Amino acid sequence: MLERQGRVEAALEGVLPGVEHAPSQLHSAMRYAVLGGGKRVRPLLAYAAGELVGADPRRVDLVASSVELIHAYSLVHDDLPCMDDDRLRRGKPTVHVEYDDATALLVGDSLHSLAFQVLTENALASDATRQLQMAATLARAAGSRGMAGGQAIDLQSVGKRLSVPELEFMHVHKTGALIRASVQLGAMCADSAGAVDLELLDRFGKVAGLGFQLVDDVLDAAASTATLGKTAGKDASDNKPTYVTVLGVERSRKLAIELYDEALAVLEQLPHGGGRLGDIARFIFHREF
Ligand code: GRG
C-alpha cells in the first residue's frame, strides 16, 4: 500500500500544475488540497483491480490520479461554508480557511476539469471507444446520478429521519459511486479482462463503497478529531442522519461485518481470491481513521 500511495503521489505531483505557472495562488491551493494527505483508498482500489486483470500500471497511475482529483475536489467543496462548513481536513486547515471561499470554489472546479483532462489526453486504452467509456464512467460516478446527487440528498436530509434503504441510497451515491468507479476504471486499463469476471469485480466495488461509508459513520461517532484529521462528531452536531443515528453503533458495526463478509465472498470467486483487493477490503472495514 505504501508503495502504491507513493506511486499515486508522484503521478499527482506530475499532473498538477506547478506554482511557477499563473495563476500561482490557484495552483498553490490545488496542490495544497491534493498533495501530501489522505489515505488514497480510491487509487489503491484502482491499482488492485488493474493488477488483477494485468493492466499496465502506468495507465493505472493516470486513472488513479483522476479518481483522486475528483475525490479531492469533492472534499474541498464539501468543506465550504455553504455545505458542511468544516475547518479541518486531512489534519490541516481546509482550503477555504487557508486561502478563501472563492479560491476553494475554483480549486474544486479546476481539479474536476483536470481529472477529465488526465483521463482524455493520455492513451489509456488501445481502443478509443474504450477510452471514451472510461471518461463516461467517471462522469457518471461524479455527477447528479452519482456523487453530486448523493451530496444533494445528504444536504436535504439534515434534521430528517431516513429509513435504512433511504440512507443506503444516499451513501451508495455520495461515497459509493466513486469507489465503485475506481475499481471499474482500474480494470478498464487492461485491453482484456482475461479470466476476470468484471461483473463480480463491480459487485465488490459496490459493497466496498457502501462499507466505506458505513465505517465512516461509525468512526465519526466513535473516533477522535486527532485520529481522523477532520472534525469528529460532525454528523451528530449537524443533525445528519447516519447509520449510527438510524441503527446505533452496535447494529452499524454488525452490518459492517456482514458487508465485509459479503465483499470477501465476492472476492473468493475471483482469480487469486481478488489479489490485493482483499487487503484493501480489510483496511476499509477495519480502519480506525
Ligand atoms: C461536493 C459534489 C460534492 C460532493 C461531496 C464525498 C463527499 C461528497 C463529501 C465528503 C463528505 C464526507 C466526509 C463523506 C464521508 C465519506 C468520505 C467520502 C470521507 C472522506 O474520504 P476519505 O476517508 O478521505 O477517503 P481521505 O482524506 O483519506 O482521502
Mean pLDDT of 216-235: 83
Angle (nearest 5°) at CA 141 between 135 and 144: 115
Query: What is the count of structural domains for the chain?
Result: 1
Q: Is the CB of 175 under 6 A from ligand 1?
A: yes
Cα 141 from Cα 230, distance rounded (Å): 24
Query: What is the pLDDT at residue 29?
Result: 98
Distance 211 CA to ligand 1 centre (A): 13
Smallest CA-to-CA distance from 147 within 108, 186, 199, 189 is with 108
Q: What pTM did the predictor assign? A: 0.95
For a ligand 1 pocket test, name from 89, 175, 210 the mutation site with the most ligand atoms within 8 angstroms of its C-beta. Answer: 175
CA of 75 to the centre of ligand 1 (A): 5
* Predicted pLDDT of residue 231: 81
User: What average pLDDT does this structure show over 257-265?
Assistant: 95
Residue 231 vs residue 156, higher pLDDT:
156
- Cα of 238 vs its chain's centroid, Å: 22
Indicate whether residue 216 lines ligand 1 (CB < 6 A). Answer: yes
Radius of gyration for the alpha carbons in the chain, expressed in angstroms and rounded: 18
Q: Tell me the pLDDT band of 233, cut-offs 50, 70 and 90.
A: confident
Q: Which atom of ligand 1 is nearest to the CA of 37?
A: 27
In testing the pocket of ligand 1, which one of 40, 75, 228 has its CB within 8 Å of the most ligand atoms?
75
- Four-point Cα dihedral 38, 39, 42, 46, nearest 10: 120
Residue where the block lists cell 470554489: 105
pLDDT bin (cut points 50, 70, 90) of residue 47 is very high
CATH number of the domain encompassing residue 106:
1.10.600.10
Q: Is the pLDDT of residue 289 over 80?
A: no
- For residues 76, 50, 179, 63, the Cα torsion angle rounded to the nearest 10 degrees is 30
Q: For strand 88-89 and strand 92-93, is the pairing parallel, antiparallel, or unpaired?
A: antiparallel
Q: Could you tell me if the CB of 69 is within 6 A of ligand 1?
A: no
Distance 213 CA to ligand 1 centre (A): 9
Q: CA end-to-end span of the chain, whole Å?
A: 16
pLDDT band at residue 143 under the 50/70/90 scheme: very high
Name which of 27, 24, 44 is nearest 186 in CA terms. Answer: 44
Task: Identify the pLDDT of residue 222.
Answer: 81
Average pLDDT over residues 33-45: 96
pLDDT value of position 97: 98
Q: Quick one: pLDDT band at residue 77, thresholds 50, 70, 90?
A: very high
Domain with 171 in it: 2-285
Residue 228 pLDDT exceeds 80: no
Give me the mean pLDDT over the 46-67 stretch.
97
Question: What pLDDT is stored for residue 181 in this prediction?
Answer: 97
Residue type, 237: S
pLDDT for residue 70 is more than 90? yes
Centre of ligand 1 from the C-alpha of residue 229, in Å: 12
Tell me the three cell numbers of residue 261.
Answer: 463478509
Does the CB atom of residue 43 touch ligand 1 within 6 A? no
Span from the CA of 33 to the centroid of ligand 1 (angstroms) = 13
What is the model's pLDDT at position 129?
94
Largest CA distance in the chain: 52
Mean of pLDDT values over 109-117: 98
| pLDDT one-digit tens code per residue, 173-210 | 999 999 999 999 999 999 988 888 889 999 999 999 99
